[in-house]
């Protein structure tokens, strides 16, 4: 029993996995069959299906616009008809005209179908006016039925006053005699608090208004502070370092004075210099006191204190110096004199800067204090406000049931009133009135539903009930757009007929003329082209498409079997008219597939032939290089194939100039580029040759056959199965190749299927999912079938080496 259950579970899981894995395929199939534009649709799947995408890709109809341009080419003797003789051109011309007339006829028939169907729908509306209106009323009834909420015992008065405050008219409600009865409670629960909250808000706003400029000026002080710190650093640090060096040198000079033999002739005023020097030391101490204050200036501080130490060292040395008569001592004094002046000025500058910094900091502190005070006030107020808001929310929470109840009562009355108004309407003449009421119902109910707890049963029910209630609007839109469509359609089709008639009469004359080289496009043809291409698109399409869409919507919304057929006909006929007259881009899918097949077939045949030949000696003969030959090949093909392309690209570009029909953007060039991948096939074929017994060939050799003969007559026929497999596998891999083809092929008509499909997924086609998926499916199905058929070999080829080992 357990085992069985587990088995079912396994199946369920496997089926789920299959669904997830194959979902993209399902999506591709369904999207390729859709009539609407899937990329812009809000539905993942659609029920409006068509094979049009496939028709457009595989057998595009020579529809209106295409016919016009064909006629134009015939009359002007332009390509593709420039080579046709006058007779041929005339024949083709009359054929085209004939086809054109058929299209006009078909369009008129379709138009008639639309007329009839619209009439049918109108008739149905007229005959079943009461039924439709009563179904609408029934719908309203069921809404009213859903609105039955339990009458809460508490807070009814408060809720009533709240609603009254918001401008809701409660006079119709029987429960509420006096809306002011709940006023006091309301004031206590909500009103007072709201007032308080309002006051708080204004105060907070005031505070923010004060805070803002403060914060701004704080920020500016802040940036000033950083600037000043930086200035001091960049000014003082390097100088101090320089001065330290000088101090070191000074010590050196003093030292050297000891040993000097020269005596000074004149000594500068030693005492004065010393006093200046000592004075400066005290200034340095002052500076240090300033820099100590700032953590940001720690670097300077340490440098200053080191400098100070050095300075003291020099001073003490100087004081104890006894060789004061030596010449270097005089140098020392001179240096010290100059040095002290420099240091003193630097220190002075720095102190000045530091003073500025001090004042900035001072300001910042003051500002900060103000900001702190104000913002703490603001925070307090805000927390009060939050509390108040919470209380208000709680109050609303308490009365919410009552509110909902009252609202439901009001809504009920409103809907009943609407029902009253609607009941006397007669369709279709008063469709617009019904539409207005349905919109009102929709708005009222949706607003009410938004007040209900999210996801509740009532909410869902109500939303479902009004989802389709706007069908009168849809019907009205359909009818209006139909009228507009007819208005534009009539001149369109009559102009079409008129110009076509004229073009038909003039055509053969102009064909004769244009063959002599005088190419004139008759006015009628010009106008015809204009009408087909632009009048249709600008005047006819917009209303027709809206009409067709609304018809489908209406069919979905009403769900009435009697008219859904007519509505479907409208949609279908409009779609067909659009197919006839819509200007469509040309697709080259068939050509691409042909190109792919040509390329893949040539490549597979050539490489198989070449490899079958080359693999033979590896299997049967002894020669140098046999041992590592294939391995070498396999390894060398690990070189990224894309990088071959720089060389092959330049080679093809070059060769294309000299060899006609070859080179870049030519299929032949692509085939050539593909021929490089032979190593793996060689490896496979060699493996198969190895399994063919030698004895057969040996017997033949004894009978006098040459090696070549044994190869052609014995080995090749025996190996034919593997060769066939390799042809197919190479065919598949070449067909599926994209990158090299993308690089080499530049002309849209030379594209292979892979490159072509890529263009379907980019640029203007990015959202044309119908065409893209259809094209993808067309290429995909044969490849999948081939793969499944060849499965054994593909899997075997990949695994055999490993499993055997």
91 to 150, contacts with other proteins by CB under 8 A? Answer: none
- Per CB under 8 A, does 266 bind other proteins? no
CA 465: distance to chain centroid? 35
In the bound state with other proteins, the residue whose beta carbon lies nearer, of 168 and 780, is 780
Q: Which of residues 291-350 bind other proteins (CB under 8 A)?
A: none
Nearer to other proteins, 139 or 773 (CB): 773
Interacting span for other proteins (CB under 8 A) from 198-206, 254-262, 474-482, 750-758:
750-758
CB 384 within 8 A of CB 200: yes
Q: Retrieve residue 125's tokens.
A: 């509306």
Q: How far is the CB of 666 from other proteins (least distance, A)?
A: 15
Task: Please report how many Cα atoms fall inside a 13 Å half-sphere around the Cα of residue 436, on the Cβ side.
Answer: 7
The CA–CA distances, whole Å, from 734 to 212, 219, 670, 783 equal: 70, 67, 10, 11
* Residue 421 CB-density burial (10 A; 0-12 exposed, 13-18 middle, 19+ buried): middle
Pair of tokens at residue 110:
């379709």
Q: How far is 396 from 163, CA to CA, in rounded Å?
A: 12
* Preceding peptide of 80 cis, ω within 30°: yes
Of 657, 665, 133, nearest in space to 420 by CA: 133
Q: Does 680 bind other proteins (CB under 8 A)?
A: no
Judged by CB under 8 A, the residue of 1, 2, 209, 621 near other proteins is 621
Q: Closest approach of Cβ 363 to other proteins, in Å?
A: 39
Considering the complex, state which of residue 43 and residue 319 has its C-beta at the smaller distance from other proteins: 43
The sign one gets for the Cα dihedral 67, 70, 72, 75 is: negative
Q: Which of 124, 136, 683, 751 is close enough to bind other proteins by CB under 8 A? A: 683
| Part in contact with other proteins (CB under 8 A); list of ranges 183-191, 222-230, 525-533, 738-746 | 738-746
* 645 is a site residue for other proteins (CB under 8 A): yes
Candidates 112-120, 277-285, 422-430, 783-791: pick the segment binding other proteins (CB under 8 A).
783-791
Stretch that binds other proteins, among 150-158, 385-393, 548-556, 753-761 (CB under 8 A): 753-761
| Cα 511 → chain centroid | 51
Q: Which of residues 40-99 bind other proteins (CB under 8 A)?
A: 40, 42, 44
Question: Which range binds other proteins by CB under 8 A, 287-295, 412-420, 692-700, 755-763?
Answer: 755-763
Choose the stretch contacting other proteins; rule: CB under 8 A; options: 244-252, 368-376, 396-404, 765-773.
765-773
Quick check: 772 binds other proteins (CB under 8 A)? Answer: yes
As a whole number of angstroms, the distance between CA 186 and CA 402 comes to 13
Q: Which of 648, 684, 722, 771 binds other proteins (CB under 8 A)?
A: 648
Site for other proteins in 497-556 (CB under 8 A): 516-517
Q: How many CB atoms lie within 10 A of CB 87?
A: 9
Q: Does 12 bind other proteins (CB under 8 A)?
A: no
- Between CA 458 and CA 145 the distance in angstroms is 11
User: How big is the chain by its Cα radius of gyration, in Å?
Assistant: 47
State in angstroms the smallest separation of the CB of 25 from other proteins. 7
Q: Of the candidates 55, 145, 635, 696, which one interacts with other proteins according to CB under 8 A?
A: 635
Tokens for 137, please give them. Answer: 């009323």
Asked whether 103 and 492 are in contact (CB, 8 A), the reply is no
Count of Cβ atoms closer than 10 Å to residue 621 Cβ: 9
CA dist 293 → 13, 265, 354, 358 (Å): 73, 48, 10, 10
Is 639 near other proteins (CB under 8 A)?
Answer: yes
Q: Which stretch binds other proteins (CB under 8 A): 20-28, 134-142, 172-180, 227-235?
A: 20-28
For the chain, how many helices (H) and strands (E)?
28, 0
Supply the minimum distance, in Å, between the C-beta of residue 632 and other proteins: 10
Nearer to other proteins, 158 or 726 (CB): 726
Among 243, 448, 680, 769, binds other proteins (CB under 8 A): 769
Give the interface size with other proteins as a residue count (CB under 8 A): 97
Residue pair 738/754 in contact (Cβ under 8 Å)? The answer is yes
Instruction: Give the number of residues written for the chain.
Output: 805
**Residue for token digits 């900091």?**
361
From the CB of 250, what's the least distance to other proteins, in Å? 44
Give the shortest CB-596-to-other proteins separation in angstroms: 11
Q: Which is nearer to other proteins, 246 or 794 (CB)?
A: 794
How far apart are the C-alpha atoms of 777 and 598, rounded to whole Å?
20
CB of 4 to other proteins, least distance (A): 11
8 binds other proteins (CB under 8 A): no
Residue 786 and residue 703 in contact, taking contact as beta carbons nearer than 8 Å: no
Interacting stretch for other proteins, rule CB under 8 A, among 169-177, 182-190, 201-209, 617-625? 617-625
CA distance 653 to 461: 70
Closer residue to other proteins, CB minimum distance, 554 or 754: 754
272 or 738: CB nearest other proteins = 738
Window of 99-107, 159-167, 405-413, 606-614 that interacts with other proteins by CB under 8 A: 606-614
Nearest to 48 by CA among 632, 689, 553: 553
For other proteins, the binding residue among 28, 344, 392, 436 (CB under 8 A) is 28
Using CB under 8 A as the binding rule, whether residue 673 contacts other proteins is answered as: yes
Is 793 a residue that touches other proteins (CB under 8 A)?
A: no
Q: CB of 316 within 8 A of CB of 308?
A: no
Beta bridge partners, 34, equal 49
Which one of 12, 16, 26, 39 is in contact with other proteins (CB under 8 A)? 39
In sign, the C-alpha dihedral spanning 672, 674, 676, 678 is negative
Give the E-state strand segments of 678-783 in sequence order.
Answer: none
Q: Which residues, numbered 705-734, are part of the site for other proteins (CB under 8 A)? A: 707, 711
Applying CB under 8 A, among 29, 58, 281, 780 the residue interacting with other proteins is 780
Of 10, 138, 456, 691, which one interacts with other proteins (CB under 8 A)? Answer: 10
Q: Which stretch binds other proteins (CB under 8 A): 69-77, 116-124, 411-419, 611-619?
A: 611-619
């Amino acid at each position: 029993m357990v085992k069985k259950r587990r088995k079912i579970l396994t199946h369920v899981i496997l089926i789920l996995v299959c669904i997830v894995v194959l979902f993209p395929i399902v999506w591709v199939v369904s999207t390729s069959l859709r009539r609407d534009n899937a990329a812009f649709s809000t539905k993942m799947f659609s029920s409006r299906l068509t094979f049009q995408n496939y028709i457009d890709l595989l057998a595009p109809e020579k529809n209106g616009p295409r016919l016009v341009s064909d006629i134009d080419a015939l009359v002007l003797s332009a390509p593709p008809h420039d080579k046709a003789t006058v007779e041929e051109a005339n024949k083709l011309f009359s054929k085209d005209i004939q086809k054109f007339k058929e299209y006009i006829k078909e369009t008129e028939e379709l138009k008639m179908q639309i007329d009839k169907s619209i009439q049918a729908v109108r008739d149905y509306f007229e005959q079943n006016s009461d039924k439709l209106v009563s179904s609408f009323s029934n719908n309203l009834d069921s809404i009213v039925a859903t609105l039955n909420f339990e009458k809460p015992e508490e807070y009814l008065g408060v809720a009533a006053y709240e609603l009254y405050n918001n401008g809701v008219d409660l006079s119709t409600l029987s429960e509420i005699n006096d809306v002011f009865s709940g006023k006091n409670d309301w004031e206590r629960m909500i009103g007072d608090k709201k007032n308080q909250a309002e006051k708080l808000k204004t105060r907070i706003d005031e505070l923010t208004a004060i805070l803002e400029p403060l914060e701004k000026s704080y920020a500016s002080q802040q940036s000033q502070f950083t600037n000043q710190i930086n200035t001091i650093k960049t000014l003082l640090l390097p100088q101090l370092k320089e001065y330290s060096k000088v101090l070191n040198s000074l010590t050196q000079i003093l030292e050297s004075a000891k040993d000097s033999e020269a005596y000074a002739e004149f000594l500068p005023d030693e005492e004065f210099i010393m006093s200046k020097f000592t004075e400066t030391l005290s200034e340095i101490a002052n500076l240090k006191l300033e820099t100590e204050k700032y953590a940001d200036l720690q670097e300077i501080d340490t440098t200053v204190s080191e400098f100070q130490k050095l300075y003291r060292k020099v001073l003490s040395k100087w004081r104890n110096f006894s060789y004061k008569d030596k010449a270097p001592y005089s140098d020392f004094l001179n240096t010290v004199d100059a040095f002290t002046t420099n240091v003193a000025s630097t220190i002075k500058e720095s102190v000045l800067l530091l003073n500025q910094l001090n004042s900035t900091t001072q300001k910042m502190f003051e500002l900060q204090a103000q900001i702190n005070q104000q913002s703490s006030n603001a925070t307090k107020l805000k927390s009060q406000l939050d509390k108040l808001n919470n209380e208000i929310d709680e109050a609303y929470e308490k009365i919410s049931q009552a509110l909902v109840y009252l609202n439901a009562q009001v809504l009920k009355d409103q809907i009943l009133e609407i029902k009253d108004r609607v009941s006397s309407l007669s369709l279709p003449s008063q469709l617009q009135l019904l539409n207005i009421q349905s919109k009102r119902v929709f708005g009222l109910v949706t607003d009410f539903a938004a007040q209900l707890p999210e996801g509740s049963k009532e909410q869902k029910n109500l939303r479902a009930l009004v989802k389709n209630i706007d069908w009168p609007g849809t019907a009205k839109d359909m009818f209006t757009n139909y009228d507009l469509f007819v208005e534009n359609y009539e001149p369109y089709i009559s102009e079409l007929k008129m110009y076509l008639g004229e073009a038909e009469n003039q055509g053969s004359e102009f064909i004769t003329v244009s063959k002599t080289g005088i190419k004139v496009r008759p006015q009628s043809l010009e106008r015809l082209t204009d009408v087909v291409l632009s009048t249709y698109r600008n005047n006819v399409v917009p209303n027709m498409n809206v009409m067709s869409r609304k018809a489908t919507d209406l069919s979905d919304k009403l769900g009435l079997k009697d008219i859904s057929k007519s509505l479907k006909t409208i949609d279908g006929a409009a779609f067909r008219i659009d197919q006839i007259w819509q200007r469509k881009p040309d697709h080259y899918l068939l050509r691409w597939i042909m190109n792919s097949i040509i390329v893949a077939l040539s490549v597979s045949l050539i490489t198989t032939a070449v490899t079958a030949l080359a693999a033979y000696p590896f299997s049967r003969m002894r020669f140098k290089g046999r041992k590592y030959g294939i391995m070498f090949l396999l390894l060398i093909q690990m070189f990224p194939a894309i990088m071959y392309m720089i060389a092959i690209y330049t080679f093809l570009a070059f060769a294309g100039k000299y060899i006609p029909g070859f080179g870049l953007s030519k299929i032949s060039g692509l085939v050539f580029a593909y021929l490089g991948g032979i190593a793996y096939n060689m490896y496979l074929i060699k493996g198969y040759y190895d399994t063919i017994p030698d004895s057969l060939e040996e017997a033949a050799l004894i009978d006098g056959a040459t090696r070549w003969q044994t190869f052609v007559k014995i080995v090749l026929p025996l190996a034919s199965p593997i060769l066939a497999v390799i042809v197919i596998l190479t065919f598949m891999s070449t067909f599926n190749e994209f990158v090299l083809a993308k690089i080499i092929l530049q002309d849209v008509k030379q594209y292979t299927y892979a490159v072509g499909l890529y263009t379907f997924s980019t640029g203007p086609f990015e959202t044309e999912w119908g065409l893209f998926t259809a094209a993808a499916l067309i290429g995909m199905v044969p490849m999948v079938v081939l793969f499944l058929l060849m499965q054994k070999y593909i899997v075997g080829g990949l695994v055999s080496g490993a499993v055997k080992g």
